[in-house]
């Protein structure tokens, strides 16, 4: 931020052909601090080189604005477009500086605003008194550094960082290959029996239908083998085969299982009819 003042002073001291540049003239400077509700908390109009009569208090909920007009003549008739326009806020204790860039509306009319983001980022971490300085510059008209007075910035100072203590730290102990927690043995046995229960139901159904293992023909053997492959797929999926490969295998077995089942039932029906 000090570089801005150096540049402004350098522009002001610039000489062309031994003739000094004309001066920048500032019209009335309007300083306002408003509540978010629109109520005016502070308002004062300054004429160069006047300063603020008191230090307005700034916070995240009280927007600050500063407006003025720049001219190239003392009669304030010819508006001037500046090459640089800043408001510099400098903390009186730490020397920390923050700059606001002016926004030009009509030619020669400038406005500065302390936004909520700017306040929280640059001012709130370092509350206290700040000097307010208007820094203006023009390559044709020279420079102007106008101290406006002081403002009071509200906020909370950040808590001091914890002191870093260097030294030996506690030993880090890792547990490798920790035993996996398993369910109770009784729960495992009951689950296994429930899983195998459909096979018992299948055996009972075969017995009622009069199916004997010794009398199983070729078509029935193929069908039962395909059913066994479905059971093996269920086990494989449970153990580690992923869902989509399992579905692909199921679809591949669907048609052969249907054909083998139809053929086995047809042969059984024919045997019953011949008896």
Hey, what are 169's tokens? 């730290």
Nearest to 60 by CA among 116, 128, 121: 116
Q: What angle do CA 166, 171, 175 make, to 5 degrees?
A: 145
Q: What angle do CA 182, 236, 262 make, to 5 degrees?
A: 135
pTM, 2 dp: 0.50
Are the C-beta atoms of 69 and 76 separated by less than 8 Å?
yes
Distance CA 189, CA 170 (A): 45
Average pLDDT of the chain? Answer: 81
- With 70 as the cut, is the pLDDT of residue 106 above it? yes
* pLDDT on residue 215: 65
The rounded percent of the chain whose pLDDT value lies above 90 is 22
* Region of poorest pLDDT, from 164-168, 202-206, 242-246, 251-255: 164-168
Name the DSSP letter for residue 213.
Answer: G
Are the C-beta atoms of 58 and 154 separated by less than 8 Å?
yes
Tell me what the mean pLDDT of segment 54-67 comes to. 87
Distance CA 47, CA 36 (A): 27
- With 80 as the cut, is the pLDDT of residue 222 above it? yes
For the chain, the C-alpha Rg in angstroms (whole number) is: 45
Name the DSSP letter for residue 59.
Answer: B
* pLDDT on residue 202: 78
Distance CA 22, CA 194 (A): 100
* Region of poorest pLDDT, from 13-27, 109-123, 180-194, 226-240: 13-27
């Amino acid at each position: 931020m000090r570089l801005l003042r150096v540049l402004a002073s350098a522009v002001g001291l610039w000489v062309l052909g031994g003739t000094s540049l004309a001066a920048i003239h500032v019209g009335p400077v309007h300083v306002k601090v408003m509540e978010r509700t629109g109520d005016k908390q502070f308002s004062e109009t300054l004429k160069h080189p006047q300063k603020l009569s008191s230090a307005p208090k700034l916070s995240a909920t009280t927007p600050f604005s500063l407006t003025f007009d720049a001219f190239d003549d003392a009669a304030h008739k010819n508006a001037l477009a500046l090459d640089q326009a800043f408001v510099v806020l400098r903390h009186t204790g730490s020397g920390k500086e923050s700059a606001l860039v002016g926004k030009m509306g009509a030619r020669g009319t400038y406005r500065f605003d302390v936004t909520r983001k700017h306040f929280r980022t640059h001012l709130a971490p370092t509350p206290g008194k700040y000097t307010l300085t208007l820094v203006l510059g023009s390559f044709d008209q020279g420079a102007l550094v106008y101290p406006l007075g002081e403002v009071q910035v509200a906020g909370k100072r950040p808590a001091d960082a914890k002191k870093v203590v260097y030294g030996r730290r506690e030993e880090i102990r890792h547990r490798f290959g920790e035993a996996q927690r398993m369910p109770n043995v009784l729960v495992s046995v009951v689950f296994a029996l429930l899983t195998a229960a459909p096979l018992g139901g299948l055996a009972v159904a075969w017995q009622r239908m009069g199916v004997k293992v010794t009398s199983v023909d070729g078509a029935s053997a193929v069908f039962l083998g395909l059913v066994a492959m479905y059971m093996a797929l269920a086990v494989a999926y449970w153990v580690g085969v992923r869902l989509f490969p399992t579905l692909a295998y199921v679809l591949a077995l669907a048609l052969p299982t249907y054909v083998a089942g139809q053929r086995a039932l047809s042969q059984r029906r024919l045997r019953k009819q011949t008896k």
